[in-house]
Chains A and B, each alone.
Chain A
Amino acid sequence: MADKFIEDKVTRVAVKKDGQEVKMDFNDLKSGGFIKQRQKDQFTVRLRCPGGRIDTKKLMEISKIADKYSKKSVVHLSFRQSLEILYVDYKDFDNMVRDLEKIGQKVASCGPRVRVPTACGGCEYNPNGLTDTQAMAKMVDEKYFGTPCYHKFKISFSGCPIDCARTKEMDLGFQGVVEPVWDEDTCTGCTICSKACKEDAIKSHPETGKPIYDPLKCIWCGDCIRACPTESWQAKRYGHFVRIGGKHGRHPREANEAAVFIPDGKVPEVIEKTLEWYKMNGKRGERIGATIDRVGIDSYMKFMEPVFKSGEPITTGKAHKWQI
């Protein structure tokens, strides 16, 4: 028995490649960014590109490495925005990882852990963007990437209710929202806001043209604020709509709506507490959505209350329109 344990401690082995001896480090494989292909000895190497953003200089270096190691000279854009180098011989892992390290490029992951976060363009350059999704994705990648879980754990950031980053299908999703507030004195009753609103949440008064706002129909996209010529619609507060327990795959599950208007600064706490709840209540091989189905959303909401109080908790856990 003792021998077996000693053997398990070996992390580096020598293998033969083209008659030459090369080293292989099993630690490289631990994170799981090396995915076996259908072809013998061939693997896909998934790079870590949080938010799908890559510096152009680094991209040029990556392309050189891809060209050097991909037996078919191809890359693939993964569904979670990362570059994957295809057809890599497993005996090349050690050299390839070292080449990637030289340019500061890390390998991503698969398996039961916090994955590389995905994100849309966000408020940095997208006109619809309400939150800095790219900055958030970078932060989450630095702080939480690779955290072991019972199953995969996917986090994404959408900058607005169009939700290109599909927060409804994530284990934990953050979608940008803005609460509009109207100033009667500066409003000229031009009716543009009622036209700009795609949710029928703003109607124009038949005589004055001034807006009649229905907060229960509003999905906090900010179109009224962007369209108003006189700045009479203003942002009262920005934040994140937090969704929990979504997934796609064989058996999709739409996320529960957990809270709205969670400020940027509280996002790390939401992630930490969520992972803590998952750790306490989940079990091996179970996505957090399944844990919620088994244990109940109330347990999660109660646990999250201290941090969700920084915005508005959605106490029913499933309501498009929560009661204020």
Chain B
Amino acid sequence: MADIKADASLDLRGVLCPINFVKTKLKLETMDVGQVLEIVLDDGEPIQNVPKSIKEEGHKIVEVKKEGEYFRLKIQKR
């Protein structure tokens, strides 16, 4: 599967819950519906919590890649 092109990106490594989610949410608010935001999350609590919260806000996670000790997620704004 070809990589989905991101319109913006946020490196959230080292950013604690729930600040990482809030930053994601605020970034998505500046974007248009259908655009894709790429975020990088730490393993552990961030990857446990942030995807659930993104889903609850109604956005769609379209790609997940594990890269060593962190995760690269692509979120489509809904």
Interface residues of A (CB under 8 A from B): 127, 188, 190-192, 195-196, 198, 209, 223, 226-227, 229
Contacts and interface: CB of A to CB of B under 8 A. Distances in A.
A198 B48 contact: yes
B56 interface: yes
Contacts of B62: 229
Contacts of A196: 47-48, 51-52
A223 B52 contact: yes
B48 A195 contact: yes
Given A192-B47, A195-B47, A227 B64 contact: no
B66 A227 contact: no
Interface residues of B, number: 14
Contact of B51 (A127, A209, A227): A227
B54 to A, nearest CB: 8
Given A192-B51, A229-B51, A127 B64 contact: no
B26 to A, nearest CB: 19
A222 to B, nearest CB: 10
Given A195-B43, A196-B47, A229-B64, 12 more contacts: A127-B53, A188-B64, A192-B47, A192-B61, A196-B48, A196-B51, A223-B48, A226-B52, A226-B55, A229-B51, A229-B60, A229-B62
B25 to A, nearest CB: 14
Contacts of B64: 188, 190-192, 229
A191 B62 CA distance: 13
Nearest to B74: A229
Nearest to B60: A229
12 contacts: A127-B52, A192-B51, A192-B61, A192-B64, A195-B43, A196-B47, A196-B51, A196-B52, A226-B55, A226-B56, A227-B48, A227-B51
